[in-house]
Chain A
Amino acid sequence: MTTALAQRPAPSRPGWRERLHKFDIKGVPYFLVAPFFLLFAAFGLFPMGYTVYASLHEWSTRSPEKTFVGLDNYQFLLFEYDRFLNSVVNTLGMFVLATVPQLIVALLVANALNKRMRARLTWRMLVLVPIVTSVVAVGVIFARLWGQEYGMINGFLGVFGVENIDWRASRFGSWLAVSSMVDWRWMGYNALILLAAMQTIPKQLYEAAALDGASPRQQFWQITIPQIKPVIIFITFMSSVGGMMLFVEPMMFDSGRFGGGTDGQFQTTSMVLIDLLRTHGNYGMSSAAGWLLFIVILAVAGTSYLIVNRLQGNK
């Protein structure tokens, strides 16, 4: 590929080379993006549309003939099947418990990592260790930590004279335990994303603020937080989507079952969905649950967006 200017096809020969070249410019780009879009159509778009269709039918392993029932499945889930709304409350509760402390700690950790220190990569990697652990592994380990008889947390509380607590029995206790898994696994990951955002803030802003006599705390609230606001919103959004689909942590907390404890005190909506699909083989109903969950996710993501936006406006 050196001095090839002369070798370009001459305009006098509008033969197959010209056409090939034209195709190369106009057509080939579509071939490059085609694999993604074909896969997306087959495994993304089509199933999503098909969920609508399936959710409007009575359809299960027991009655494989699809019968159109309109919105009956939705109505059943919302007004008759208590476990569904219960699961939405549980998922929301655990989402709040898992997200709020996590974001606060992640902000502080990111701020600390943003200081000048030696061995920066090592610090960052250490903070990131939990996200490398699989959710199932986290579930196995934390289920033991929160165990009633030999759990380390009860052992620790026992030092202060607290009786052994059955964390699985109560709503709040189980929420706390499940949320701790999410907190533990995601904090460092989010801290690194916040750190990346903090590093894009121009140093002059801090210098100017320092000259005006702003304390580090003031600088944190009045420069750092507003500057990284878009990333905080992004993290909140992603946490809502992930948090509202919580599944493996509560499942492992209940020894791999989908019931979420004796009375479903920590059964999440995803667990209800999988229970309907796998245990009951009810395709129509689980499709409806899937759409309802999607609507809930949108609502929660939208609400947390509004809240984060507001919070920072006040500071």
Chain B
Amino acid sequence: MSTVLKPPAQQNDSESTGPRRPSNRSSGGSSAKILQPTVMTRIGLVGVIVLSIFPLYWMIVIASRTTSDAAKFPPALLPGGNLGANIERALNDPASRLIDGLVNSIIITGTVTVSVVLISTLAGFAFAKLRFRGARLMMGIVLATMMVPLQHLGLVPLYLIMVELEWLDTYQAAILPFLVNGFGIFLMRQYTLQSVPDELIEAARVDGASTLRIWWQIVLPALRPGMVVLGLLTFMLNWNEFLWPFLVLGTETPTIQMAIRQISIGLYTTDLSMVFTGTLISIIPIAILFVIFGRQIVSGIMEGSTKQ
């Protein structure tokens, strides 16, 4: 390209100046210009976001209306006044196990989250700051587990192990396999490298502090923001997990996701607003976390990726 005739600083009104092809929507002049969103960019982005949110919005619309409204065309696009009644119905219906599902999911997901964060901070600290033989090889194994979907590859024997141990329908069957979380260790190792200076650890050692004490008094406080991020990501991932709990837990111990599947099989054709209300209820805990901790979730996803 050799069509830049004017110095970039003068091209304040990029749309009309300069002899350039019509396909160039914004100025090629300065980097400030490049980073300026064009109208097309904004419209496109808003369009994508509307599409991203519409299905959830529509779920709320149906959940707040009667089932007969759901079958109308043109479709209802504004929420109705039945949300409270629908929620009550969904929670109390004898066929629905929503409350059981919520309780079970909170127990399972909560235990997994706390354990993963604990295991990951311990191991992440060791890999980041301690020297021991085999550390590199071990870290390699950790990274490999991030790539291979263990819970799915070993699904059948894992299931058989649970049968042998007579653990079907128990919490530990749903919890234990998900404590193997290479990503957590990787993330906490990164956070430890970033936020715990070597000098601090050296100084503590000189003062005679043991390794565990260093972990407790120096590393843990410094890692708190990282622990929040890891905890949130782990909670979200496990709250939404379906397949493994579905295999090892029976219909008597449903997680919230299993409860939704059950309702939707039973009532899909007859009572859509109740199915959608149940679905809405299943999302609420995560939605609350997302609203409160949005910043941490966004940064966790973005930071976890660039460091690979």
- Which A residues have a C-beta under 8 Å from some C-beta of B? 1-2, 4-5, 7-8, 24-26, 28-30, 32-33, 35-37, 39-40, 42-44, 46-48, 50-51, 54, 105, 108-109, 111-117, 121, 123-130, 132-138, 140-145, 149-150, 152, 155, 158, 184, 187-189, 192-193, 195-197, 200, 203, 206-207, 210-219, 230-231, 234, 237, 241-242, 245, 247-248, 252, 255-256, 270, 273-274, 277-278, 283, 286-287, 290, 293-294
Contacts and interface: CB of A to CB of B under 8 A. Distances in A.
The binding surface of chain B is classed by DSSP as helix
18 contacts: A4-B208, A8-B206, A29-B130, A32-B122, A36-B142, A39-B119, A40-B141, A46-B161, A50-B161, A114-B35, A115-B41, A116-B32, A121-B298, A125-B290, A132-B283, A134-B242, A287-B156, A294-B153
B140 interface: no
Contacts, number: 316
B114 interface: no
A33 B2 CA distance: 59
Main SS at interface, chain A: helix
B25 interface: yes
A231 B257 contact: no
> What are the nearest 3 A-B pairs in CB distance?
A47-B154, A213-B1, A196-B302
B170 interface: no
Contacts of B48: 105, 109, 127, 187
Nearest to A212: B1
Interface residues of B, number: 115
B264 A216 contact: no
A274 B246 CA distance: 11
A124 B299 CA distance: 10
Interface string B169-185: 00000001101101001
A207 B59 CA distance: 46
B20 A215 contact: yes
B155 A116 contact: no
A193 B28 CA distance: 26
Interface string B181-213: 010010000000000000000011011111110
Interface in B106-159: 119-120, 122-123, 125-127, 130-132, 135, 138, 141-142, 145, 147-150, 152-159
Nearest to A27: B132
Interface stretch (B50-58, B78-86, B87-95, B220-228): B50-58
A128 B301 contact: yes
A46 B177 CA distance: 12
A116 B32 CA distance: 9
Interface string B2-46: 111000100000000000110111101111111111000110110
A149 B73 CA distance: 10
A7 B208 contact: yes
A25 B45 contact: no
